[in-house]
Amino acid sequence: MGSEPTLPDAELEVLACLWQKGEATARDVREAMAGYRPLTHSAVSTLLTRLQEKGLVARRKGPVGKAFLYRAAGQPKRRRRRLVGDLLERVFGGDALAVVSSLFETRPPSAEELDRLQQLLDQLRSNSAGSASTVPIALRKKGKRT
């Protein structure tokens, strides 16, 4: 698959649900999403079919009845990086610090997350002394992309 397709919100939410669950039936997905995006069984099945046609979801026959089991094809890390990169450019004009600030204003990090972030910052500082290309694109300052 050459370039990854842009996904509507509903498809992205179904895909994210599969990332979290690993493998699930359409009913499992519908029930998991009911609290934030109530959908009919038919709507979930349609979204899963669209994702399958785009190569983002695979399905197999379940062990009982007519239900299929769906799973996300490929790794979520690549898709997440692309989504964050799109958000960074389209919404924040390439300002990575504004993205991080908005994230932490929306949901402040726990003490454990702060420790992990400090480790990441320390690693980025030591890597940036060597080469800018070792710093993740989303964390580089605007204008210093290589």
Q: What is the pLDDT of residues 76-93, one digit of tens each?
A: 888 888 888 888 999 999
**Domains of the chain by range and CATH?**
9-72 (1.10.10.10), 95-139 (no CATH)
Which of helix, strand or coil describes residue 5?
Answer: coil
Q: Of 5, 33, 35, nearest to 20 (Cα)? A: 33
pTM above 0.75, yes or no: no
What phi and psi values does residue 108 have, to the nearest 5 degrees? -60, 140
Which of helix, strand or coil describes residue 68?
Answer: strand
What would you measure as the largest C-alpha separation in the chain, in angstroms? 58
pLDDT by residue (tens digit) across 96-146?
A: 999 999 999 999 999 999 999 999 999 999 988 765 555 454 444 444 433
* Rounded Cα distance, 48 and 57, in Å: 7
* Entry field: residues in the chain: 146
